[in-house]
Chains A and B, each alone.
Chain A
């Protein structure tokens, strides 16, 4: 048994189909070609033991290991802890126009981080490491803003990224 569909409505249905296919195609194209995909590393860590060398994922987020690191190939990684109410270390220097990998873990509750006017936007869920790579194209000071309610001091949670010219960049932690 078929249903009655008005000819005009049939045309509208093809328009809907067209809109869907175009939208899907654009997103899949950029995901495949430009590797535009959301932060999704599915990596577990013991959030209550970030300060210890032991435990799941232990050591990486100890205080002495936080901050900016550059490896032998020149890749830059920023390791940060999100905790009520700040992103630690509170200040980091990174070079402009360079891919920067951020690795972040929460020490306590749910947090999120946003650097306005960039694609640095990720949830920081206790028990998981958040990894996101971004490229800052403008020099200057950018606040890191916590964008998920994390307690009554939530609005005061911040950090600061200083984006410096490439020739002024000196990784504080030295070459790993």
Chain B
């Protein structure tokens, strides 16, 4: 048992992978806590797919994958926000249009590269075991930046999320906070792509926070639980991936999904086993 736990640590790539997965779990949980409460899960999915053409372009021209992905993701996030302020369309329709369009663009560019199959799997599904030291440092810096911004503005984000009208009337610039938050989602997604890939990153954002929502009725605790699930599942997922030789991103996400269903079945707050008169028992503490 001890051997099994120590085994990945004997390799440098194993240590890097564990650190990266824990960091991604942390950053995604923090941002995801607000994202879920804002009803932006679909938005997160869209932004991650929109990063694809940026990553492909960076790959093609030998630039930084982070930078390429970040530019495409942030541009799309702001574009969705901008269009939904102007066009008389529901925002989910606008998200659907841009998300598919950007992903299609990425696929088109990628398919133009000769022998293109090679790294596609890594982009789409993540390859945290192959993360380099430079990538890990980049992840730590960008992830740290996201955490810092949320730490500085957590109560403003909370007010604007809970009651945008009341927050706006009291002088908060809700529009600016909305754009800033979209930018943070985009940044979080870009730093997470290496670990879990474009397709699965939305789970890293959504699942820990959604699980925590089943377990508590207080925002501070929600975020703490989400962080615990995010970091814990990140580390556990690397081990599972190492032991069973499974894709790392999929391992992490499956562990999170399992925890979610466990909480759904057993959770006191909105769990399936809860009976209505017993609602008071453990809720709201």
Q: Do A and B come from one complex?
A: no
Chain B residues near A (Cβ < 8 Å): none
Chain A residues near B (Cβ < 8 Å): none
